[in-house]
């Protein structure tokens, strides 16, 4: 039997076992079963919910008809229910099987498909739980004025006395207040950009654009410490009404 090994690793809570460990176990499994390993492919720092993984598709392209795509666990292939099922169907269409060292073969019987979907749903749930926990932790840290990335969010600058914290930037805070007031009055994103430039508010980049302003508002609402939030933040109704203006 010919097989191709695929491994994925994302160094975050909920993700375990390095690529080297996964590959080692897969190779041992292949030797035990007398399989010939054609190639090994991997993706590092890659989410199991992302279908655009170079190593994944190289593995699919190199797995021959009648062969096996071997993974350490099924969640290394995907951690999203729909993506996992789509990949298994793609494997079926190409004429090879997907098998996991820890979980066995992903057969296409009614029972096999049910088990496969249950495992994929559990992996997706775990991924979403990690996202929620990470988001809650980040908001808690940011509410304390702690720096969470290389660059401070718009409206803030890195504290010169304590580089682990951020403090309000008065010029950018004025621009944020202006944006919030304009949104509350019903202006679209493009109109806000025009008015920002006319009023002399300077962006961080070369010019204001609608997508950038929309991201600034979204990020500032998520990241800004609560006691610094502008009182005139736009209502959800305006966002839903105006959509992607």
State the Cα torsion 183-188-190-194 to the nearest 10°.
-50
**Together in a domain, 111 and 188:** no
Range of the domain at 189: 156-242
**121 and 81 in contact (C-beta within 8 Å)?**
yes
Residues 102 and 171 in one domain: no
Q: Do both 20 and 80 map to the same domain?
A: yes
Average pLDDT over residues 218-237: 46
Token pair 């430039």 is found at: 197
Residues 118 and 22 placed together within one structural domain of the fold: yes
pLDDT at 89: 82
Q: What pLDDT digit, counting tens, does each position of 55-105 carry?
A: 999 999 999 999 999 999 888 988 877 788 788 888 988 999 999 998 765
> Of the candidates 106, 43, 104, 108, which has an alpha carbon nearest to the alpha carbon of residue 76?
43
Does 104 share its domain with 161?
no
Distance of alpha carbon 218 from the chain centroid: 17
Same domain, 113 and 169: no
**Spatial distance between the Cα atoms of 4 and 55, rounded to a whole number of angstroms:** 11
151 assigned to some structural domain? no
Q: Are 127 and 49 in contact (CB under 8 A)?
A: yes
3-state SS class at 127: helix
Query: Between 35 and 216, whose confidence is greater?
Result: 35
Q: Are residues 65 and 20 in the same domain?
A: yes
Domain shared by 17 and 118, yes or no: yes
Rounded Cα distance between 8 and 73, Å, is 10
- Of 82, 110, 128, the domain-final residue: 128
- Residue 141 placed within a domain: no
- C-alpha to C-alpha distance for 140 and 199, rounded to whole angstroms: 34
Task: Answer yes or no: do 21 and 100 share one domain.
Answer: yes
**Domain co-membership, 165 together with 115:** no
Does some domain include residue 146?
no
Backbone angles phi, psi at 166, to 5 degrees: -120, 150
Number of domains in the chain: 2
Q: Average pLDDT of 152-177?
A: 83
Considering only residues 132 and 160, tell me which one the structure prediction assigns the higher pLDDT: 160
43 or 164: which leads in pLDDT: 43
Confidence of residue 238 (pLDDT cuts 50, 70, 90): very low
Place of tokens 């736009």: 234
DSSP label of 33: T
pLDDT at 68 (0 to 100): 95
Instruction: Say whether both 75 and 164 belong to one domain.
Output: no
Model confidence band, residue 106 (pLDDT cutoffs 50, 70, 90): low
> What's the chain's average pLDDT?
77
Q: Is residue 142 part of a domain?
A: no
Q: Is residue 114 part of a domain?
A: yes
The whole-angstrom distance between residue 103's C-alpha and the CA centroid of its chain comes to: 26
Query: 168 and 87, same structural domain?
Result: no
Q: Which of 106-120, 150-164, 176-190 has the highest mean predicted lDDT (pLDDT)? A: 176-190
| CB contact set of 220 (below 8 Å; sequence gap of 6+) | 153, 154, 155, 176
CA distances from 229 to 168, 174, 223 (A): 11, 12, 10
């Amino acid at each position: 039997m010919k097989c191709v090994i695929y491994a994925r690793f994302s160094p975050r809570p909920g993700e375990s076992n390095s690529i080297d460990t996964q590959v080692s176990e897969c190779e041992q499994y292949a030797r035990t079963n007398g399989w010939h390993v054609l190639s090994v492919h991997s993706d590092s720092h890659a989410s199991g919910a992302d279908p655009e993984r170079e190593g994944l598709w190289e593995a699919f392209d190199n797995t021959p008809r009648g062969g096996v795509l071997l993974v350490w666990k099924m969640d290394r292939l995907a951690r999203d229910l729909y993506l996992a099922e789509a990949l298994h169907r793609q494997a079926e269409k190409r004429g090879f099987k997907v098998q996991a060292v820890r979980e066995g073969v992903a057969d296409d019987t009614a029972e096999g498909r049910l088990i496969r979907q249950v495992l994929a749903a559990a992996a997706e749930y775990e991924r979403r739980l990690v996202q929620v926990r990470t988001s809650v932790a980040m908001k808690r840290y940011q509410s304390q004025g702690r720096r969470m990335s290389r660059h401070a969010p718009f409206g803030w600058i890195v504290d010169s006395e304590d580089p682990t914290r951020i403090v309000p930037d008065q010029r950018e805070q004025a621009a944020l207040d202006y944006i919030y007031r304009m949104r509350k009055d019903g202006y679209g994103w493009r109109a806000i950009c025009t008015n920002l430039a006319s009023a002399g508010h300077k962006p961080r980049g070369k010019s204001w654009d609608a997508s950038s302003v929309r991201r600034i508002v979204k990020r500032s609402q998520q990241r800004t410490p609560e006691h610094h939030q502008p009182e005139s933040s736009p209502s959800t109704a305006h966002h839903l009404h105006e959509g992607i203006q």
